[in-house]
Chains A and B, each alone.
Chain A
C-alpha cells in the first residue's frame, strides 16, 4: 500500500494556474524536501475544484483541510505549520461568509459545491448497460410507487413538484400530463423527445448514454398517468451510442418484466419503440416531431390542436424532453416536496447546462435553478480562457439571446432569462470573450436557423435568409444604416408572425445583440470597423516603426502586396492585401499589427 501518509492536492485548473499554482507546487516540493518528508507527503496537481473565485486551492488529505487563495509565499508557513507540526493555518482557511468562521474540514463545506446532480444522478456512476446497477440505485422503485397510486395522484405529484419542461418551453409537466390524461381515446402515446438539436447542447445524449433506464422508467410512469400503453422515443440517428444503450435498456427492462404486460404484477401494460430522426432542428418542435414519426415531412403545424388532444396518428400524445423525464423518478423517490424545495419560486429543481465557448471547464454541469451566471461561469466553468475579459454568454442556443456583465448576478430560471431577453432553451451556454464580434455572433446563429428552417412559413423561410444576408453584409463592411433599420423591422415581424417556435425565436440573437451591443453594429456600418477585431474584411494589416526592413514579410506575401527597400520600413498595399496574415506570422519583430 501507499507509502505516503499525507497528500497535498493543488488545483491545476486554468484559473488557479494563472494565479501561480505551479509555483505553489514547486515550493511545496522544495519545503517538504527540506524537511526530509518527501517519502511521507505526496504533492499532487489536480483538475479544477470549481471554486475558482477563491483560488488557488490547496487541499490536504487525509484531514480534508481546504485552503483558499494560497500564494506561493504562504507555502513555507503551510509546510512548517500544517505538514510538520500538524497545526492548521487559520488565515488561509475558507471563511464562511455568513458566520465569518473559518471552516476547517471541507466535508462541512458543501456550499462550494455549486453543482447538484438530479437529472445526471447516475451519469458517470453506473454501467448504463447493466440494469442491475440501475436497480441497485433504487431504479424502477419510482415506477413501483407510481403504480400503487391512482393516476390522478401520480399527476398531482408531478404537478406539486413544479417540474417544467426542460426542452426549452418550460411548460409545467404535470399540467401537460393532465391534459393528455383527460382526453379520452382508445390509444394514447408517450413520446420522449430525444431530438436534441441545439448546437452545443448534449445533455440529452449524455443522459441516454449514461442512464437510459431513468428514461424508460419515467416514460412508463407517464404512460400509467395518462393512460397510454405505448411509448416512442424520437431520437436522432446521429446518436448511435445513445440508441444502442437505450435499446439494451429497453430489452433488459422487458426481460425483467418492467416493460410489457402486467408490469410489477399490476394490470399496467407499457412498451417502448424507438423512432429515428434525421437530425432536423425543427423536429424538436413537438408537432414537427410527430409528423416526422408518422413518416411525413418534418414540419410544424399550427397549435391548437395540441398533441395532448391530437398527436401521433391523431391520438392524444404527451411529448416530454429527455432531461424532463430524467427528473421524474427522483420526484417519486424523494418526494415532490423535496424536489420543489430546490430552485426558485417558479422554476423548481435543477438544470443541466452544456458549457462551451471561451470558458476553461467546457462540459456538462447541473445546478439548482436560481444559481447565478457568475457562479456557473466562474465557480464551475473556471472563468474565461486565457484570462480574457468576459463579454457575453448566449443561452438558449439559436433561439436565445445574449446576456452580459450586468446580467451575471441574475439567478438563472425560466422567467428571469426571458425577462432579460434570452431564454433557457435546452441548456446550451456559449461563453464569449472580448475577441468575439457580436454582429458576427448573430450571423452565426442566423446562418444556423436559416439552414434549419423547414421552409414552411414565409417569415422563417425567406425572413431568416434575409436577416442572414444583411448580417453578412454588415460583417463584411458593406452594411448601410438602412440595413440596420431593416434588420430591426424584419426581426420584429418574424418574431410576431412565424408559425412555430423555431421561427418566432430565430431573430432573438439579432434583437438581443442589437439591444446590448448596438454600438458594435454602428461601428461596422458607419466606420467600417470591427471593435472586437474579428471581422477580417474590416481589418487592415499594418507595418509599424518596429520594422527593420528584413524583407521576410515581402517574401512571404503571396500577392506581392508588401514593398520596401532592404533595411527600410516596409509598407502594405491595402488594395492588394488579401488579409491572409502570413506576413504577421513571419515577422520576428512584431512589427506587423492587425487593426
Chain B
C-alpha cells in the first residue's frame, strides 16, 4: 500500500478553519478538555474522508464552470461496464460530446476498447497508488487534466470493479449509476446495500442470458428497490442493445438538465 495516495494533508486547511460538507460541520479548532484522570481529551470532530470530500468539491466546482455533466459508473468486475459504455457512446455521440476516465488496477484493455468510439479516454491504473480498490477524488482531478473539458458535455467515469469501496468516495460527480448483471445473483443489492443506496439509477445487464440462467429478474429488481425504493432500474443487454432506449434517454435528459440549468 502506497502512503503517497493518502498524503493529502495539504488540502485540509487551505480554505479556512471550518468546512461544511454533506450537512456536517467539521470544526477544525482544537478544544482541550479533561477526560479521565491522567489523560486529557482533544476534540477533533473531522471526517476521515475530509481530504477526499474537499477535493471532490473542487472537482464539482470545476465541472460546473466547464458545464460538464459527470457520471460515475460502478459495479462488480465483469458485469459489463465497458461493453455497456462502448455501446452507449456510439448512441450518444456525436450529439453529446463525451470523454471517459476508466480505472483499473492493471492493463489499458478497457481504454483501448473505449477509444474506438472516438471519445477521449484516460486510463488510470491504480497499481501506482498501491492497487487501490476505488477511484478517489484527487485521482479524478489528475486524470481530467488530460482532457479538454471545454470541448465535452459528458464525462463518464468507469470506476474500479468493486461493489464496496467506490461507494464511499465522492469524486465530484453529478450522478452515480450501479450496474448489476443477471449472472451475479439476485441478492447482490442486499449484500452491498451502501452501493445501491448511494446510486441514483441501476442497470440490470446481460438480460439476453436470462433463458440460460436460474436468475429471477423480478427478484433482482425487487431487491434493488428494497435497498433503494423508487430508483430507476434499466434492464439491458449490452450485447444485443435491448433496453438501451430508456437508459440512453435517461442519461441524455440528465445531461440536458445540467447544460440548460
Do A and B come together as binding partners?
A: no
Residues of A within 8 A of B (CB): none
User: Which positions in B face A, CB cutoff 8 Å?
Assistant: none
